[in-house]
Each structure stands twice: as C-alpha cells, then as structure tokens.
Structure 1
Amino acid sequence: MKRFIYDTLLKWKDGVDRKPVIIEGVRQCGKTWILKDFGEAEFKDIAYFNFEYDNRLEKIFDGDLNVSRIIKDLAIIRNKSLQPGTTLLILDEIQICPRAITSLKYFCENLPELHIAAAGSLLGVAIAQMGKNISFPVGKVQMIKMYPLNFPEFLLAKDEELLYEYLHNLSPDEDVSAVFTGKLEEAYHEYLITGGMPEVVRSWIHERDIGIVESIQTGILDTYEKDFVKYASVSEFPKLSLIWNAIPAQLAKDNQKFIFAHVKQGLRARDLEDSLLWLISAGLIYKVEKIERPYVPVATYGDSTFFKIYFADVGLLRRMSKFPADVIFDTTSLTADMRGILTENFVLTELIANDFQRPFFWKSGGIAEVDYIIQEGVDVIPIEVKSARRTRSRSLVEYRKKFSPCVAVRTSLKDIARHSDEYGDILEIPLYLIWKLKAYL
C-alpha cells in the first residue's frame, strides 16, 4: 500500500541533523508495516525488536543507558551486529519500556549516524504517565503522527493511481470531469463502510465481502478494549470502557454534546475526565470543542466543557454503531442522521490527516451551528458538512451574516462551485476532494 508517510521517512533518512524518529498512531494503523517496508527498500539491513513480544528487551534498558552497550546487547539477541549507516534499528511498541524512550536522547547525542525508528500505539498515554525518574527526550527525537489511510491513500490502495494523479494535479479553478464523479462517489461511500484501517481496506479490495470486513473491524475494536485492560489501571478500565461504548449514542443525540452524566447514571465529569483524556492521548478519539467567538487564535476561545467526541476511524465508528453497510448508499430520512454523523467524522479525520490545526465547532445558543471551524494562517474558516447533495442550511447563513469570513466552505456530494455575496466567498467542495482543501483555500 502506498502511504504518504513514506516520503516523510525518506526526508528523515537523508536529513543532515537527523534524530531518532518516533511514529505515533493508533494500533493497527500501519506503523510496523510502513517501517519494515521502508527499511527493506531503503536499507541493507533491518534490526527489528518488539517490546510487546520479547521481554528480554526491557532488561537491556534497565541498567545504564550507554548506547554502545545497548547496541552490543541487541546485536547478541539477533546474532548480528548493527552497522550505522546501513542498518535501520526499529524499536516497536516502545511505550512498554519508558527507559527505551529516554535512551533515544543518548542515541541522538552519541550515535547520530545510526538510523533509529521507534513506534508505539499508546505513546501519548505512556508519555503522560512517565515518572519523575524517567524523562521524555524533548528536542532529541522527531515525532511523526501516523493515521489510518485517508481517502486519497484509499484510492491508491484500490489501484486508482491514474484517478488519484488526475485529482492531485487538478487545478483549483478546474471542475472534476463528470466522467469520474460517479466512481469517486462510490469510492467515498465504500470508505464510509471500511474506514482506513489497512487490514480492513486490504480485505475489502481483495474479497469485497462485508462480513469479513466487519469481522476484522470487530477484532480491532476488541483489541482496543483489551488495551484498556492491559495498559490502564484497574480502577480506570471500567470507566474507559463506559466512555468508549457511549460515544455512538452521544453523537446520535440532537445536539451531539458529550455529557458525562449520560455515560452512566451517578457518574460526573470529575469521575470520568481522566479516562476521557486517556482515550484522547491514546489517539483513539478526537475532542472537538465549541466556540462562540471565532477570533484569532481560535484555540484560546474553545470551551473545554462543551464538546463532541469522534472516532479516529470512520469505519470503526460505523461498526461500533452497528450501522448496516448496505444502507450507506440509502438516502432516505430513516438513515439520514447516522449518515450525517459518519460524514462529519470523515471530514474531521481528513482535516486532521492533512495537517489542519485542531478543528472546533461553532454554536450560537440554540439558533445555529456550524460543523467545523478551522484557522488557516490569520483566517478563520467555517466548514459546513452535508452528507448528500441538498445543502440548504440556515446555520452557515447566520454565521456569515454575523462574522463575514473571507471564505466559507460547504462540503457535500455537489460539484465544485464558487460564489460571492456581500458576506464573502463560498467554496463548495465535494466530500471526496476535502483532502485538497488547502490547495483550494
């Protein structure tokens, strides 16, 4: 599978001031695969070590953090030396051994010529829990976020390379040819079913069997819950599970606001806030806060007590919600609410994967609500999300009348369009092109 992170790793490999790299991302988003694939293509040798499967590794880092000794001990375990410049050292599931994370500082300072790549599924949690005697190597490592496949990567996985190149090279003032819109809409709906987990996508492409897809998705969700047991404290686990399982129902409410009291009767915010932060740190969920005043910098106006929670992968949200795959293409009112939620989740993950600053949403009393507010430079841009072609909505109108943004974005299944009025410009962009939003802005 073509993953865009590969190009980032190439730049890291050849960088003049290269530091050890840490790839952070949810479990099963492809971290191990990309490192091994990259290593096989770009290095003569790969030294792969997994802390989850080999408990001898932690003992190597229990003593001093002398990099020469560590390299020798690792060489003995694999019965082959590590050669700086030609060997890629991969330390997988490194969150299990905090001292191994700390050791990256000394590899950076004392053995910078050795290429070291670490990966971890719960690094955010591990870093937050590192004790006083164990420090994170701030400034001594390069952090790279990895996500499930986004929509353009999904197209490439489907062997639609020419279609991807066509879209990639499409000028912002060009319309998408009507010849391709049907195929793109179909691919978009498929993505709502599968999401971007590589194993799920691979299965769908080769088998085209919804039953197998959903079995894999269920397995991934089960793995996440097992992680709650494995990595959280005994007291934390039941609360993590409660929050995790409550998310689809909370999104299905009229205002979608996450309410702690609805997770379980008798529990309050102070009982669950740490567990919610754990899930956010693990990268499993995204928190989207409300703002009422969309001023710069947007982040300072977020309301941390009024927020929505979405999944890191839209396919897992669909499966968790038990929303049947065969009605994704249904446009009746009976499925409109859930399709709207999935569409919002899709747009959010596309924005995050394409390096936009943390999105917020705007709500003005009970009058109007705009799905996402992003800051791009000094511009604050509202984004309204629609799951089909019907795009009439009072909320964006109210927002534009009140704040006159330089540009407002509406994303739906309608074709590209641009118009202006006394309140500024409106950009209509298809959902399957939201990954190109920076170019259009």
Structure 2
Amino acid sequence: MIYRYALSYLEAWKKNPMRKPLILRGARQVGKTTLVENFATEFDCFLRLNLDEEEDRNLFTQYKEIHKLIEAIFFYLRKSPNQGTVLLFIDEIQNSPEAVAMLRYFYEKRPDIYVIAAGSLLENVIDHKISFPVGRIEYMTLHPCSFLEYLNGIGEDFDQQAIEELKADAIHERLMYEFRKYCIVGGMPEAIKVYAQTKDLLSLDTIYDALIASYSDDIEKYSPNETQTKVMRHILETGWQKGGETITFERFGGSEYRSREVGEAFRTIQKAMLLELVYPTLNNRLPLEAQLSRRPKLIWLDTGLMNYKAEVREEVFSVSDISDAYRGHIAEQVVAQELLAHTTKVSERRYYWIGGKRNSTAEVDFVWKRQPYVLPIEVKSGINAHLRSLHLFMSNAPHDLAIRVWSNRMSIDEVKEPGTGKMFRLLNLPYYYVGVLDKVIDSIMK
C-alpha cells in the first residue's frame, strides 16, 4: 500500500462536525478508490456502491425517501445498520442523477452517515449533464503520487523521512538518482506498484498504454461532435511531446486544426484533469490574475506518462542533470507536478510569470503563492547572473526571497539585483525538496 498524504485531509473531514458529503475528484486511475478503501478502515461499517452496476443504480431509482434508501442499502449489502460509524462510498456517481440529487438529503437528514462519492470525468458532467446540490456538498481533488509517496511505494521510507525532516543533504546523490527514476516511472499508483515489484522500467509500457487508451475512450464519451473527437484524439496522441512547453492552439502538433477547435478540445481534456493549461500572470504580488490571451504552458497530469509517450525515458535516465533533458521541459513538467501533488483544493492552479512591458521576453517558470507573497521559481542550473528574468521579478517584489530548483544541494545565496541594487536571498532547492517547499520556507524564515 502506498501511503497517500490526502488521507490526512479525509481524517480532518471526518472530525469536522460541519462536514458535508464529499465529492472526490481526479483523473482515472490516480488512486481514488484505493484511498477511500484505506480510509474505510477507520469506520465500523463500510458500504460501497458502484453505479456502473445496474443493480446498484436501481437502489436510487426505487427508493426516493432517504431513510428507506439507507435501509435498502444496508439490506442489499448484507450489513447491519447498528454497527457504529458508517462510511458510504458511491463510486461512478455520474451514472445516476438520482444518486447525485440524494446527496443533499444525506447532508440535511442523515448527517450521521459519512458519504464520499467519486466518478470518472465528473468535471465534464458537473453543471452540464448533472446538477450537483450547491451548498450541500464539498469537493476534494486527488493527484498522482508525489515523489514522497513514490519513495514510500518502493519501500524507501528512510529517504522519505529524511526529506520530510529536511535532513537529506547526506544522501543527496542517492535521492537525485531516485528522482530521475521517479521522472520515468511517474506517479500513477499502478506503475509504482509494478516497478516496486519488478524494478523493470520497460515492464511499465503496457500500463501506460492501457491508461492512455482508457483516457481516450473516456474523453470521447463527452465529445460534442465528431470534429472535437478527432481533435482530442490528436492531442492525446501528439500533445505529450509538448509537455512543459508554452503552446499555440492554431495548427497544434502540425495539424490543420484551427485555434478555436484546439482550444475547446484542450479545455475538455483539462476538465478530465489529464492536463492543465498554465497561463502567465503579470503580477508579482497577490492576487494573481491569469492572462488568458497569452500562450499557456502545457502541463500533463503525470511525468511517467509524458516521458513514455514522448519517448525520452533513456535521455532522462542517462543525464546527470534533469535540467538538461529534453530541452529542460522534463524538469518544468515534474516541478509543476510536485507543486500541485499534495494539495487537495479543486480550485488550486499554477501560474508562470512574464514581464509586463511591450516586447518583454522576461519569463519566470512558475510562481508560488505563499501568503502574503508570491515567490518566483526558476527551474534551471547555471550562475546567478544569468537568471535575468528572476532578477527582473525581484526588482520590485515586496519580499526578498526567490527560488531556483536544481540538481545540486540546498543552499542560500545573497544576490544583488543589478538594476535597482536590491539585495535578495536565492534559495537553491534540489528537486526532491519541491514537495515540501512550504516546510523549507518555514525553516529559513524562523
């Protein structure tokens, strides 16, 4: 079993007396069902319904009154209704509008029962084909496994703990070696499980193929027309090679498709949480505002899938510095993935920064919201003087901390911005610490 940090969110949800039925969102095969099953061990009774099954769906069409429905569920699953704390898990809930509608009554009339619902492509049916009861439910997102969860999954608990305690300097080389393997294996739980058993990277090919095929099949179910189906197929076939890059919709991937068609297809795939279009911001302070008229950066849900489809696994494994692999795009992809891996907020988004002046080419790879500030993150090695865009960002930032992610050990440099003479601290962060970035920042701000 891979320990998922999202369990701590579920445990807090369980203790909250004001909790609501929870909708668990995330791409197919990121581990939603397994997460709930592991969480279920904390309850006296676990009720699971899969609404892919007709018999399970029929419960919600036959019983319209909440108390009768609950009684029927216990009877149907051969469980006693007097077993203490009860967790009801409704999987593939998008298949039953009646089940979705019933969530409000669990909240209003049976708050004693803990309810979690999940489903495939929920993002494409919410408020489109099915209306979820506003104000009666809450949401949580699950992403692919982080590097820390990967370490746990392959049995490297000592290394995982060293990172969590910020005591990893002595094992830096070993962790960078494992991080390069994480870039190849990725964060899909099944891939981690198989790799932990076989230690064979090539054995993962069938897993990746099956995942991508299932994503393509799912997406097509919600395509509004044949043209969109073709465009989405094209993106899912060729778009992996553009991961970590800023992209243009017009004639994407060497196609003849127009900007509007490609944009609509990308947004549909984004709703399925297979990718994110990361837009730039002009701001170096809160609030961040996405510049939707500018070119977005394409970030896929998982580095393992991306590297497999882009056919760059051998290059990633052989380089000594991840920043050198695939023109630096692998490094940006995996850092973006790590930045989001441990959050459960549905609304959480990533941004990169661009200079606001006309014809400016200044660009910082990512920005990180750290109340009350916005911190710039560059993903590259090299001498400090060459970080020109980062210098520009810091010239009028209301703080003195910038971040560079690299393959070397953690350190802090005192840097002088040449234009204004402002002094700031440059936190040089090894890749394996990105997943605990907040903890690192806390440690240096004491």
Same fold (TM over 0.5): yes
CA deviations on 1:25-76 (whole Å, 9 max, x unpaired) are 111111111111221x212332211112x02333333466421232233334
Q: Is the 8 A contact 1:290 1:302 kept in 2?
A: yes
Cα 1:210–1:389 change in 2 (3 A) is farther
Say which is worse superposed, 189-198 or 395-404, in terms of deviation.
395-404
Cα 1:87–1:378 change in 2 (3 A) is closer
Q: Which amino acid aligns with 2:260?
A: R
Cα 1:430–1:37 change in 2 (3 A) is same
What is the CA-CA distance between 1:263 and the residue it aligns to?
A: 4.4
Q: Is the 8 A contact 1:417 1:428 kept in 2?
A: yes
Q: Is the 8 A contact 2:285 2:398 kept in 1?
A: no
Alignment of 1:112-261 (within 5 A): 112-130=111-129, 134-170=130-166, 176-178=168-170, 180-235=171-226, 236-251=228-243, 256-261=246-251
Local SS of the residue matching 1:61: helix
Q: Does 1:285 align with 2:285?
A: no
Local SS of the residue matching 1:381: strand
Q: 1:346 aligns with which of 329, 334, 340?
A: 334
Q: Does 1:268 align with 2:258?
A: yes
Alignment of 1:1-150 (within 5 A): 1-39=2-40, 41-52=41-52, 54-62=53-61, 65-83=64-82, 85-130=84-129, 134-150=130-146
Q: Is the 8 A contact 2:376 2:403 kept in 1?
A: yes
Local SS of the residue matching 1:329: helix
Say which is worse superposed, 154-163 or 313-322, in terms of deviation.
154-163
Q: Which amino acid aligns with 1:412?
A: W
What is the CA-CA distance between 1:339 and the residue it aligns to?
A: 6.1
Q: Which amino acid aligns with 1:90?
A: F
User: What is the RMSD computed on CA atoms of the aligned residues?
Assistant: 2.6
CA deviations on 1:305-358 (whole Å, 9 max, x unpaired) are 4211110111111112122x3332323899935262121111111111234952
Which consecutive unaligned segments of at least 5 residues does structure 2 have? 417-421, 442-446
What is the CA-CA distance between 1:405 and the residue it aligns to?
A: 4.9
Q: Does 1:358 align with 2:349?
A: yes
What is the CA-CA distance between 1:9 and the residue it aligns to?
A: 1.6
Q: Which amino acid aligns with 2:240?
A: P
What is the CA-CA distance between 1:251 and the residue it aligns to?
A: 4.2
Name the structure 1 match of 2:424. Answer: 424
Name the structure 1 match of 2:419. Answer: none
Q: Is the 8 A contact 1:84 1:115 kept in 2?
A: no
Name the structure 2 match of 1:326. Answer: 314
Say which is worse superposed, 415-424 or 349-358, in terms of deviation.
349-358
Q: 1:311 aligns with which of 264, 284, 300?
A: 300
Q: Which amino acid aligns with 1:310?
A: I
- Distance, in Å, in 1 between the alignment partners of 2:201 and 2:158 is 26
What is the CA-CA distance between 1:439 and the residue it aligns to?
A: 1.9
Local SS of the residue matching 2:349: coil
What is the CA-CA distance between 1:96 and the residue it aligns to?
A: 2.2
- Distance, in Å, in 2 between the alignment partners of 1:333 and 1:31 is 33
Name the structure 1 match of 2:373. Answer: 379
- Distance, in Å, in 2 between the alignment partners of 1:87 and 1:6 is 17
CA deviations on 1:67-125 (whole Å, 9 max, x unpaired) are 12322333343344545743321111112223322211111101110121111231211
Q: Does 1:413 align with 2:404?
A: no
Which consecutive unaligned segments of at least 5 residues does structure 1 have? none
- Distance, in Å, in 2 between the alignment partners of 1:201 and 1:186 is 16
Local SS of the residue matching 1:298: coil
What is the CA-CA distance between 1:304 and the residue it aligns to?
A: 4.3
Say which is worse superposed, 108-117 or 242-251, in terms of deviation.
242-251
Q: Which amino acid aligns with 1:246?
A: T
Cα 1:114–1:153 change in 2 (3 A) is same
Q: Is the 8 A contact 1:84 1:113 kept in 2?
A: no
What is the CA-CA distance between 1:359 and the residue it aligns to?
A: 2.2
Please report the TM-score for the alignment, with normalisation by the length of structure 2.
0.87
- Distance, in Å, in 1 between the alignment partners of 2:258 and 2:83 is 53
Q: Is the 8 A contact 1:250 1:259 kept in 2?
A: no
Identity of aligned residues (%): 26
Q: Is the 8 A contact 2:176 2:407 kept in 1?
A: yes
- Distance, in Å, in 1 between the alignment partners of 2:83 and 2:75 is 16
- Distance, in Å, in 2 between the alignment partners of 1:296 and 1:334 is 31
Q: Is the 8 A contact 1:347 1:434 kept in 2?
A: yes
Cα 1:353–1:304 change in 2 (3 A) is farther
- Distance, in Å, in 2 between the alignment partners of 1:341 and 1:83 is 55
Cα 1:135–1:84 change in 2 (3 A) is farther
- Distance, in Å, in 1 between the alignment partners of 2:122 and 2:375 is 31
Q: Which amino acid aligns with 1:93?
A: E
- Distance, in Å, in 2 between the alignment partners of 1:118 and 1:333 is 42
Q: Which amino acid aligns with 2:107?
A: C
- Distance, in Å, in 1 between the alignment partners of 2:61 and 2:383 is 61
- Distance, in Å, in 1 between the alignment partners of 2:209 and 2:367 is 32
Q: Is the 8 A contact 1:417 1:427 kept in 2?
A: yes
Q: Which amino acid aligns with 2:162?
A: Y
Local SS of the residue matching 1:116: strand
Q: Which amino acid aligns with 1:33?
A: T
What is the CA-CA distance between 1:282 and the residue it aligns to?
A: 1.0
Please report the TM-score for the alignment, with normalisation by the length of structure 1.
0.88
Q: Which amino acid aligns with 1:177?
A: D
- Distance, in Å, in 2 between the alignment partners of 1:368 and 1:84 is 61
Corresponding residue pairs, total: 426
- Distance, in Å, in 1 between the alignment partners of 2:323 and 2:287 is 37
